[in-house]
């Protein structure tokens, strides 16, 4: 039993990371149906916001507040000049956002260099939990991810913006007739998804190698989380993260991490064959 606790906690850490990363993806891809291959770069932007703020002498907590704002503003601007032109054409969305992703990677690399950036998180050192030593930061991460998830669900179910968004997803025309401005809803939904990705970037940064290419590692996995969980459903994100993160942690105890990641993605492809609509469809 004692040995199982780190395993469970490790699985929960990875699931939390995937949950944070995929929530934004679930809004942009699952709900708005826009394939955003630059989603990983928003995670990178979040992590580099932390790098810049800590470089200026600021704390982790300031970055945790500033990064989502940065993501929100960048998201709004990009939606206006690029993304709004490719609604309804997935292939165009793929090409545009992939181009954006390549440009952002290189710009960040040119600005900061290719060496991993030093960042530090709060709560250094371990705490004892059920008789096992475990890094305190990871426990904070798990708690924060859960809180973020609940907050997103509340935004969707309880706010005017959530109602407008759900309405325009069901039928853009009817929502527009009812006085919901679809351009405005789309812009803010995309910005919200981007803000969630940058938030995830800050939280991941203390545990990862912060480089210009860090986001790409999460891109495919977050797509699979959304696809396996069920595109268009927020509870599906939790289910997808649980399956992908749980399997990956379990497997990486037995086989090398890269092979474990590969195996999980292959399993996800097999799951899609039998449940194309996902585990918890909307």
Partner 1 sequence: MSSGLKKIHRQAANRMRVPTLVAVVLVLALCVLPIWIDGYTLNNYRDILLLGLFALSLDLFWGRTGILSFGHATFFGLGAYGMAITTIKLGLDPAWASLAGLAVGVLLAAVVALFVGYFILYGGVRGAYFTIVTLALTMIASHIAIGWSSMTGGDSGLIGVPPLSVLGYTFYDPVSSFYLALGALTLCLFGSLWVMHGRFGLVLKAIQDDETKARTLGYKTQWLLLKTFVVSAAMAGLAGALYATGTGFVAPDMIALLLSTEVIIWVAVGGSGSLVGAVIGTAIVWQLQVKISSISFAAWPIAIGVFFILLVLVFPEGPVAFLARKLSKLRGSRKGEAQ
Q: Which residues bind partner 1 (CB under 8 A)?
A: 35, 37, 82, 85-86, 90-96, 98-103, 105-107, 109-110, 216, 219-220, 223-224, 227, 256-259, 261-262, 265-266, 269-270, 272-274, 276
Considering the complex, what minimum distance in angstroms separates the CB of residue 262 from partner 1? 4
User: 26-29 — which CB contacts under 8 Å span 24+ positions?
Assistant: 26/193, 26/225, 26/226, 26/229, 26/231, 26/233, 26/234, 26/236, 26/237, 27/152, 27/189, 27/192, 27/193, 27/196, 28/189, 28/190, 28/193, 28/194, 29/223, 29/226, 29/231
| Choice between 91 and 177, CB closer to partner 1 | 91
Minimum CB–partner distance for residue 274 and partner 1 (Å): 8
Cβ-based nearer residue to partner 1, 5 or 220: 220
Tokens of residue 79, six digits: 């939606």
Nearer to partner 1 by Cβ, of 39 and 188: the residue is 39
d(CA 243, CA 134): 23
Report DSSP state, residue 85. Answer: G
Minimum distance of partner 1 from residue 217's CB (angstroms)? 8
> Of the two residues 170 and 274, which places its CB atom closer to partner 1 in the complex?
274
Q: How long a stretch of residues is the chain? A: 282
Nearer to partner 1, 40 or 68 (CB): 40
- Please, what is the minimum distance in Å from the beta carbon of residue 275 to partner 1? 9
Question: Least distance from C-beta 42 to partner 1, angstroms?
Answer: 16
Burial of 154 per CB tally in 10 Å (0-12, 13-18, 19+): exposed
């Amino acid at each position: 039993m004692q040995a199982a606790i780190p395993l469970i906690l490790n699985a929960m850490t990875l699931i939390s990371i995937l949950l944070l990363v995929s929530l934004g993806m679930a809004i942009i891809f699952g709900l708005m149906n826009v394939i955003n291959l630059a989603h990983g770069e928003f995670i990178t932007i979040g992590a580099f916001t932390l790098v810049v703020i800590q470089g200026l002498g600021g704390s982790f907590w300031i970055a945790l507040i500033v990064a989502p704002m940065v993501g929100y503003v960048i998201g709004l601007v990009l939606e206006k000049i690029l993304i709004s032109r490719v609604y309804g054409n997935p292939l165009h969305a793929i090409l545009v956002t992939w181009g954006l992703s390549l440009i952002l990677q290189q710009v960040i690399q040119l600005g900061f260099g290719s060496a991993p950036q030093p960042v530090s998180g709060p709560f250094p050192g371990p705490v004892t939990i059920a008789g096992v030593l475990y890094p305190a930061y990871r426990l904070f991460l798990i708690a924060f991810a859960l809180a973020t998830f609940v907050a997103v669900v509340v935004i969707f179910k309880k706010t005017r913006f959530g109602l407008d968004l759900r309405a325009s997803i069901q039928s853009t025309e009817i929502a527009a007739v009812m006085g919901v401005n679809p351009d405005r809803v789309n812009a803010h939904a995309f910005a919200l998804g981007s803000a969630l990705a940058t938030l995830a970037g800050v939280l991941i940064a203390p545990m990862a190698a912060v480089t210009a290419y860090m986001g790409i590692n999460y891109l495919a996995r977050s797509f699979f989380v959304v696809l396996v969980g069920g595109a268009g459903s927020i509870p599906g994100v939790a289910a997808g993260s649980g399956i992908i993160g749980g399997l990956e942690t379990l497997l990486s105890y037995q086989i090398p991490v890269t092979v474990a990641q590969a195996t999980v993605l292959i399993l996800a492809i097999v799951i899609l064959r039998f449940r194309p609509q996902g585990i918890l469809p909307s």
